[in-house]
Chains A and B, each alone.
Chain A
Amino acid sequence: MSHELMAPLMFAGLVVVLLIGYPVAFSLAANGLFFAFVGIEMGLLQPALLQALPERVLGIMANSTLLAIPFFTFMGLILERSGMAEELLDTIGQLFGAIRGGIAYAVVFVGALLAATTGVVAASVIAMGLISLPVMMRYGYSKRLASGVIAASGTLAQIIPPSLVLIILADQMGASVGDLYEGALIPGLTLAAMYAGYVLLVSIFNPKAAPALPPEARTLKGGALVWRVVTCLVPPVVLIFLVLGTIFMGVATPTEGGAMGASGAIILALMKRKLAWGLMRQAVESTATMTSFVIFILIGSTVFSLIFRGVDGDLWVENLLIGLPGGAFGFLIVVNVMIFFLAFFLDYFEIAFIMVPLLAPVAQKLGIDLVWFGVLLGVNMQTSFLHPPFGFSLFYLRSVAPKEIKTMDIYWGAIPFVCIQVIMIAIVIAFPGIVTSHVSKAAGAISGSGAEELRRQLGAPAAPVPKDDAAAAIDRMLKEQK
């Protein structure tokens, strides 16, 4: 077997091994190790390469960007369990109830608000499915519109900051989380607006599908309603400011923003007297389990990519993708179509950890702005939550939807929103300005702050600065290999 064959074989092995259905983290790592031994036996790789493994694991443990993942997850879980979504939905539903399609607008609006605070797709979809779906059914909304708008609005958590996908993408591309957050803000809000636009179109052309609430269903009126709106809107707005405001102003790093958000969520839950021991224990355990499996996929993919690079797999992928007709544009189209279809089978974690490290260097070489590329992939992966038959958002909704809503209603309901997503991807490609124009200003603002982490992140895309002692040691080892 020649040297050139190793990388393609390894990639083929990856596909087979992942499809077996054993946990991805260990399959990835085992595939890497198997080829490491083959490579060492054939004299293509140095045995010393394997000694770099624990250092790589340590590098992941020391990665302060990834620290934001448990913080934001924890914050989201605390907010979810303390009933913020329920309160918001109920109140905003009353507020918008009088207009045609009112509850559907409320779902989009609350979806965007929840996205900017909790950022957990499952939580948003389940809350909205439990609260708004029965109301919409009772007052005669079309099943498809109701389920589609709930599933879609729930996925906004994937693209509106502080989304976990964006943290992972930023880490894998060596871009700054703050930049990616700023870049994703306008596309995320535009998406929410487009969902609302779709509801408007439906309510104009098919008024029966999206009726207004009858007066007797609107229990809160006048001053009481205004008061409810104010009191239930204040906590999320405070948190959004605490988290996104401080990050965008350059006062806090995304990691610190996450920690402050989590503390803020605990304080809010305490104030509402919802913070029970059981709630805390659940939130802590769920956060830990989720962080653990996400980071272990990263550990697995690191083992894989260490060996994959050892056999020049990165060069193989690069040659494949750079040779595409149409240059950068051809690359973008192929990558987006590929990810769109991969997302039928893979989670966004898996795509971000396996595909993005292979794609990002090529994108950079083609002169593509990494922040923009990241947001583009983010919108694309958000779609993966929504498209039938494997979209997670659809599963979550199915699990809470009443029986009279058929699975096919949920699938058909999602399709218009998948189309909106595709339009959004096209918009991001056609008008990079909605991502980038916004970020360059901000980058200057952030560099003024003293945070060590931010400086490192901002410097990272141009010239990879050694992240820390562990990462530097690995880089040295890899250089010695070559």
Chain B
Amino acid sequence: MHALLKLSSLIDAFNERVGKCAAWLILLAVMICTVNAIVRYAVNMSSNAWLEMQWYLNAAMFMLVAAYALKRNAHVRIDVIAGKLSPRVQAWIDIIGGLLFLLPVSLLIAWYSWPALVNSFDIGEHSSDPGGLIRWPVRLVIPIAFVLLSLQGVSEIIKRCAFLQGLIPNPAEHHQETV
């Protein structure tokens, strides 16, 4: 169990690093979008590459932060019933949910996204708009994000198991925060 907890804290630290860095992309997106809007209105000029840059950055931001959000227990739950259950039962819900919901979904989407990514890379797929950006980097975000999410899922499961064995305090508690 201790080796697993070590693995869990490695994953946590890594995803926290990734999430905190990726979060800053939103600032970049805000600046690019503001400049785009002003330039378009002022000199009536617009560039598809810069327009697409906005959503590339935003997409990378929310996809790569997802694992960190899971670590912070920020993904919304319906806790009408679960909120009344004991922490132990909630930990079981998270273990079962992680195994049956999170891991299959994340791995499956990551798996299915791979052929499209390879294909996009091979044919050098570009956006269909003139002057648009090359597509594979943003497609690459999908498998990366879902693999990170799967890893975080594994880490959360390890922490819940350790909690059930009484090795660590309840991992769900001290992260809950409102945004």
Q: Which residues of A approach B to under 8 Å, CB–CB?
A: 17-27, 29-30, 33, 50-51, 53-55, 57-58, 61-64, 67, 70-71, 74, 122, 251-253, 255-256, 258-260, 262-263, 266, 280, 284-293, 295-297, 300, 303, 345-347, 349-350, 390, 396, 450-452, 468-469
Measured between beta carbons, the chain A residues less than 8 angstroms from B68 are: 289, 292
Q: Known contacts A18-B78, A19-B81, A30-B104; is A58 also within 8 Å of B139 by CB?
A: yes
CB of A263 within 8 A of CB of B80, answer no
Q: Does B3 lie at the interface of the complex (its beta carbon under 8 Å from any beta carbon of A)?
A: no
CB of B75 within 8 A of CB of A54, answer no
In the bound complex, CA of A61 to CA of B20 (Å) = 19
Measured between beta carbons, the chain A residues less than 8 angstroms from B61 are: 70, 288, 291-292
In the bound complex, CA of A335 to CA of B83 (Å) = 27
Q: How far is the CB of B138 from chain A (nearest CB, A)?
A: 7
In the bound complex, CA of A108 to CA of B127 (Å) = 47
Instruction: Determine which of A252, A284, A296 lies in contact with B75 in the assembled complex, contact meaning CB atoms within 8 Å.
Output: A296
CB of B62 within 8 A of CB of A70, answer yes
CB of A22 within 8 A of CB of B37, answer no
A-facing residues in B5-50 (Cβ within 8 Å) = 19-20, 22-27, 29-31, 33-34, 36-38, 40-41, 44
In the bound complex, CA of A256 to CA of B33 (Å) = 6
CB of B78 within 8 A of CB of A19, answer yes
In the bound complex, CA of A46 to CA of B170 (Å) = 43
In the bound complex, CA of A251 to CA of B36 (Å) = 13
Measured between beta carbons, the chain B residues less than 8 angstroms from A70 are: 26, 29, 58, 61-62
Q: Known contacts A19-B81, A21-B82, A292-B69; is A285 also within 8 Å of B105 by CB?
A: no
In the bound complex, CA of A293 to CA of B63 (Å) = 10
What are 26 A-B interface contacts by the 8 Å CB criterion? A19-B80, A21-B83, A21-B85, A21-B90, A23-B70, A25-B76, A26-B105, A26-B106, A27-B101, A50-B112, A53-B109, A54-B113, A58-B139, A58-B142, A61-B63, A62-B55, A67-B54, A260-B33, A263-B34, A284-B24, A284-B27, A289-B69, A292-B69, A350-B76, A396-B178, A452-B51
Instruction: Determine which of B34, B40, B55 lies in contact with A64 in the assembled complex, contact meaning CB atoms within 8 Å.
Output: B55
CB of A262 within 8 A of CB of B75, answer no
Instruction: Determine which of B29, B31, B79, B127 lies in contact with A67 in the assembled complex, contact meaning CB atoms within 8 Å.
Output: B29
In the bound complex, CA of A295 to CA of B51 (Å) = 20
A-facing residues in B92-130 (Cβ within 8 Å) = 93-94, 96-98, 100-102, 104-106, 108-109, 112-113, 115-116, 127-128
In the bound complex, CA of A71 to CA of B32 (Å) = 12
Measured between beta carbons, the chain B residues less than 8 angstroms from A260 are: 33-34, 37-38
* Count of B interface residues, CB-CB < 8 Å: 70
Cross-chain pair count, CB within 8 angstroms: 212
In the bound complex, CA of A440 to CA of B58 (Å) = 32
CB of A61 within 8 A of CB of B101, answer no
In the bound complex, CA of A51 to CA of B109 (Å) = 9
In the bound complex, CA of A21 to CA of B127 (Å) = 39
Measured between beta carbons, the chain A residues less than 8 angstroms from B109 are: 53-54, 57
Q: Does B66 lie at the interface of the complex (its beta carbon under 8 Å from any beta carbon of A)?
A: yes
Q: How far is the CB of A389 from chain B (nearest CB, A)?
A: 10
In the bound complex, CA of A377 to CA of B23 (Å) = 31
In the bound complex, CA of A22 to CA of B89 (Å) = 12
CB of B179 within 8 A of CB of A286, answer yes
CB of A23 within 8 A of CB of B33, answer no
Q: 4 tightest CB-CB pairs across the interface, nearest first?
A: A21-B82, A22-B97, A259-B33, A61-B59
In the bound complex, CA of A285 to CA of B65 (Å) = 9
Q: Known contacts A22-B93, A25-B75, A350-B78; is A259 also within 8 Å of B34 by CB?
A: yes
Instruction: Determine which of A27, A259, A286, A452 lies in contact with B30 in the assembled complex, contact meaning CB atoms within 8 Å.
Output: A259
CB of B36 within 8 A of CB of A27, answer no
Q: Known contacts A27-B97, A29-B101, A70-B62; is A22 also within 8 Å of B77 by CB?
A: yes
Q: Known contacts A29-B101, A30-B101, A289-B68; is A24 also within 8 Å of B78 by CB?
A: yes
Of the listed residues B93, B98, B116, the one surrounded by the most CB atoms of chain A closer than 10 A to its CB is B116
Known: A53-B109, A260-B37, A280-B27. 11 other contacts (CB 8 A): A21-B90, A22-B93, A54-B112, A64-B55, A252-B41, A259-B29, A259-B33, A288-B22, A292-B62, A303-B105, A452-B51
Q: Known contacts A252-B37, A469-B128; is A349 also within 8 Å of B97 by CB?
A: no
Instruction: Determine which of A20, A22, A25, A122 lies in contact with B178 in the assembled complex, contact meaning CB atoms within 8 Å.
Output: A122
B36 nearest in chain A by CB position: A256
CB of A284 within 8 A of CB of B26, answer yes
Q: How far is the CB of A381 from chain B (nearest CB, A)?
A: 15
Of the listed residues A20, A266, A297, the one surrounded by the most CB atoms of chain B closer than 10 A to its CB is A20
Q: Does B134 lie at the interface of the complex (its beta carbon under 8 Å from any beta carbon of A)?
A: no
In the bound complex, CA of A412 to CA of B73 (Å) = 31
Q: How far is the CB of B70 from chain A (nearest CB, A)?
A: 7
In the bound complex, CA of A262 to CA of B116 (Å) = 35
Q: How far is the CB of B127 from chain A (nearest CB, A)?
A: 7
In the bound complex, CA of A287 to CA of B178 (Å) = 12
CB of A26 within 8 A of CB of B97, answer yes
CB of A469 within 8 A of CB of B94, answer no
Of the listed residues A25, A33, A252, the one surrounded by the most CB atoms of chain B closer than 10 A to its CB is A25
In the bound complex, CA of A292 to CA of B80 (Å) = 23
CB of B97 within 8 A of CB of A23, answer yes
Q: Known contacts A22-B97, A293-B74; is A345 also within 8 Å of B80 by CB?
A: yes
CB of B66 within 8 A of CB of A292, answer yes
Q: How far is the CB of B132 from chain A (nearest CB, A)?
A: 9
In the bound complex, CA of A259 to CA of B41 (Å) = 14
Measured between beta carbons, the chain B residues less than 8 angstroms from A350 are: 76, 78
In the bound complex, CA of A70 to CA of B106 (Å) = 23
